[in-house]
A and B are shown apart, each in its own frame.
Chain A
Amino acid sequence: MKFKVDNNDVFASTGGRPFDKKKPLIIFVHGSGLTHMTWVLQTRYFAFHGYNALAVDLPGHGLSGGESLKSIEEMADWVSAVIDAVGHKEASLVGHSQGCLVTVECTSRYPDKIKTLSLMGGAGAIPMNPQLLSLAENNDPKAVDLMMDWAHGPAGHFGGHPVPGLYHINTGTMLAKSRTIQNTLGVDFRACDNYKNGFEAAKKIKCPTLSILATDDKMCPVIEGKKLAALIEGSQIDIIDNCGHMMLLEEADRVLTVLKKFITNNYPPLSS
């Protein structure tokens, strides 16, 4: 569906079900340079089971208008504005990678609004490799190829997508190249590199929090994810073996099973 935030068009997938104000809201926030499409194997489930599942395209990304936001803090405020824009008072947040920085910051800023927080491949800080950052800022497609290489674990490099016929390394590449690289990936990588408030923000979080980490994640290694989780009161951790940073695709079913249990327990759906 389309709506406006700050006068810009926002696109959000509703997981194939119409938006219904009565249902609780879950917002899914994608990683650097990507789009709502990365969440397709999670959102549709929630959409069919009593939730409004909103996988947003950040400004300047995917099908959304406007320009990419330059800092994690601005993105955090923007996510809060999305909740207002769709007429809700509260939401559950789910983030992947950069989306974890955004949702952690958002939860710490708006503690009354955010009811649960699910982090996938998250860390308290995501310092960027300077060469990768510079390639992305210079619009070099090699930045996307490197990201796809590092983001998939050794098993993920062979494929074996849960949806028959899809080859996710090429799909991810196509998503990240669908708009001008320097305006999406370049701006996002810089925002990640600049963001320093993750650990402080984490300390303020009081809502139920889940971290899904993967043993072969090179971008946000398990040890970094654990450091962040340790600062969040009562947070749960789930570690997936044989999987890289793109766990939401590489091990989509496992991620969905864990996520389903966590969200439905802590933020129940509208029963039909």
Chain B
Amino acid sequence: MSDKKKELKPNTYKFDTLSLHAGYQPHKNAGSRQVPIYQTTSYLFDDVDHAAALFNLERGGHIYSRISNPTVGVLEERVASLEGGTAALATSSGMSAIFLAVMTLCEAGDHLVVSSQLYGGTVNLFRLTLPKFGIKCTFVKPRDTEGFKKAIQKNTKGIFGELVGNPGNEIMNMPEIAKIAHEAGIPLMVDATYQTPYLCKPFEHGADIVIHSLTKWMAGHGSSMAGILVEGGKFDWMQNDKFPTMTKPYEGYHGLSFAEEFGPTAFTMKARAEGMRDFGPCLSPQNAWNVLQGIETLSVRMKKHCSNAEEMVKYLMNHESVAWVSHPSVPDHPDHELAKKLLPNGRGSMIAFGIKGGKEAGVAFINNVKLASHLANVGDTRTLVIHPASGTHSQMDEATLKFAGLSHDMIRLSVGIEDIEDIKNDFEVGFRAARKPRLVSNQ
């Protein structure tokens, strides 16, 4: 050993190790190396004292699987660890995670400032459903950073956005928008489904609550629906009087003040104690286990997703049948530089491109690819394609399509981890058909 003093380095586990191990101790589970699937609704109390203690949040533990479950708990801790968060709450889908986050934060009469480039389901929630609960939203274009500031009102309780909007690939300037939120004393909530913590950890850029549809890249294999909300732990709920349900005694739990009692985990504690109790969108232990399987290989898969996506971007940009390509790795993408900063490990595997020949060509392409799957999902290990103008958004006219950031010629591509040559060969078949749409469709 050298006698030179060694610089001290923290040896807490790093990302790839946490992906496999965080949240689980085999010696407390009969030595089972895999996380057991606790397929149960409820849990024995030791005695009445123990039962009361669990109900009063005097001690940790499980009561009923709507509120918490040991298998789901491993997933929650694992995602919290990967995000650099203090706590997490898993839900039955991405949509229920978003809904729970909003309902934990807001009451009737409140307002949110929301990015206009969101997953369609989320747009509907904010535009049509939340107003039914008395919660109103103002939509702001993701690149209009100042617009977020201007839209904040006295009753605004938070800002919500997707880091990279879909399908236009517009990136919100998260660090700047976080500053705006914090100056107004409100939290920033980010849906980071498309990034996963492997590509971006929003807490490092000022976000306060991170939401994932785990259905996508996190689970990764297109097998299971799941969602999660993760808490950063930095937001001070007591700095103003905007969040009385976090800071004032809560009738539903013997006058408990979540912020005082649970500090950096207060949001998650409230989302579970109130949200899971009253709304109940719990994740099944089997699905939690499936998602855990996916997360074990998250970084391996994300690397391949991203490298395949960059190959596909090059291929499409040089293709005679392609009019345009949108992906943050393209040098003239308006957010190319911001993407480098926020997504240093890769720019994600969602590509939008325009096919020459418009809607008809789009239809022919989709109908003729054989390897790429035509379906309404993203973030599968397999390559997925969809032509919004003829499928999901077929009722829209040109103007409405434009407002939604879509066009007749747009194909949305979620690049899988197949052999890249096979994906390209498949696309050649699609493009060939698109160049002669009538011929092929008459066959």
B59: Cβ under 8 A from any A Cβ: yes
Residue of B nearest to A1 (CB): B260
B394: Cβ under 8 A from any A Cβ: no
Interface string of B347-384 (1 = CB under 8 A from A): 00000000000000000000000000000000000000
Question: Could you tell me if B264 and A165 are in contact, using CB atoms closer than 8 angstroms?
Answer: no
Q: Within the assembled complex, what's the spacing in Å between the Cα atoms of A155 and B234?
A: 26
A252 partner residues in chain B, CB cutoff 8 A:
59-60
A116-124, A140-148, A198-206, A222-230 - interface stretch: A140-148
Given contacts A16-B56, A256-B59, contact A158 B86 (CB under 8 A): no
A17: Cβ under 8 A from any B Cβ: yes
Q: Within the assembled complex, what's the spacing in Å between the Cα atoms of A77 and B81?
A: 39
Interface string of B222-264 (1 = CB under 8 A from A): 0000000000111000100000000000000111100011111
Say which residue of B5, B24, B60, B269 sits within 8 Å of A158 (CB atoms). Answer: B24
B68-76, B127-135, B162-170 - interface stretch: B68-76
Interface string of A1-20 (1 = CB under 8 A from B): 00000000000010111100
Residue of A nearest to B263 (CB): A37
B272 partner residues in chain A, CB cutoff 8 A:
164-165
B80: Cβ under 8 A from any A Cβ: yes
Minimum C-beta distance from A36 to chain B (A)? 8
Q: Within the assembled complex, what's the spacing in Å between the Cα atoms of A171 and B261?
A: 13
Say which residue of B5, B10, B81, B233 sits within 8 Å of A146 (CB atoms). Answer: B10
Question: Could you tell me if A157 and B59 are in contact, using CB atoms closer than 8 angstroms?
Answer: no
B62 partner residues in chain A, CB cutoff 8 A:
164
Interface string of A159-188 (1 = CB under 8 A from B): 111111111011100110010000000000
Q: Within the assembled complex, what's the spacing in Å between the Cα atoms of A256 and B61?
A: 13
B11: Cβ under 8 A from any A Cβ: yes
Given contacts A45-B53, A174-B233, contact A167 B58 (CB under 8 A): no
Say which residue of A35, A47, A170 sits within 8 Å of B233 (CB atoms). Answer: A170
Question: Could you tell me if B5 and A131 are in contact, using CB atoms closer than 8 angstroms?
Answer: yes
Interface string of B256-297 (1 = CB under 8 A from A): 100011111100110010000000000000000000000000
Question: Could you tell me if A169 and B261 are in contact, using CB atoms closer than 8 angstroms?
Answer: no
Question: Could you tell me if B60 and A159 are in contact, using CB atoms closer than 8 angstroms?
Answer: no
Say which residue of B25, B233, B256 sits within 8 Å of A155 (CB atoms). Answer: B25
A13 partner residues in chain B, CB cutoff 8 A:
260-261
Interface string of A250-267 (1 = CB under 8 A from B): 001100100000000000
A16 partner residues in chain B, CB cutoff 8 A:
56-57, 253-256, 261
Say which residue of A175, A242, A253 sits within 8 Å of B60 (CB atoms). Answer: A253
Minimum C-beta distance from A28 to chain B (A)? 13
Residue of B nearest to A145 (CB): B10
B341: Cβ under 8 A from any A Cβ: no
Question: Could you tell me if B28 and A44 are in contact, using CB atoms closer than 8 angstroms?
Answer: no
Question: Could you tell me if A35 and B263 are in contact, using CB atoms closer than 8 angstroms?
Answer: yes
Interface string of B58-99 (1 = CB under 8 A from A): 111110000011101100111011001111111000000000
Q: Within the assembled complex, what's the spacing in Å between the Cα atoms of A171 and B21?
A: 18
Residue of A nearest to B21 (CB): A158
Question: Could you tell me if B22 and A167 are in contact, using CB atoms closer than 8 angstroms?
Answer: yes
Given contacts A165-B88, A166-B86, contact A157 B13 (CB under 8 A): yes
Say which residue of A149, A157, A171 sits within 8 Å of B86 (CB atoms). Answer: A171
Minimum C-beta distance from B27 to chain A (A)? 7
Given contacts A159-B81, A174-B264, contact A165 B89 (CB under 8 A): yes
Minimum C-beta distance from A161 to chain B (A)? 6
B125: Cβ under 8 A from any A Cβ: no
Q: List 18 A-B contacts (CB under 8 A).
A: A13-B260, A16-B254, A16-B255, A17-B254, A41-B59, A131-B8, A142-B8, A145-B10, A146-B9, A155-B25, A164-B60, A165-B68, A165-B268, A166-B265, A171-B264, A174-B232, A175-B263, A178-B263
Which residues from chain A sit less than 8 Å from chain B, CB to CB? 13, 15-18, 35, 37, 40-41, 44-45, 47-48, 62-63, 129, 131-132, 135, 142, 145-146, 148-149, 152, 155, 157-167, 169-171, 174-175, 178, 242, 252-253, 256
Given contacts A159-B78, A164-B70, 17 further A-B contacts (CB under 8 A): A16-B261, A48-B52, A48-B56, A63-B260, A129-B8, A142-B8, A158-B23, A158-B25, A160-B23, A161-B77, A165-B77, A166-B86, A167-B77, A167-B85, A169-B81, A171-B233, A253-B61
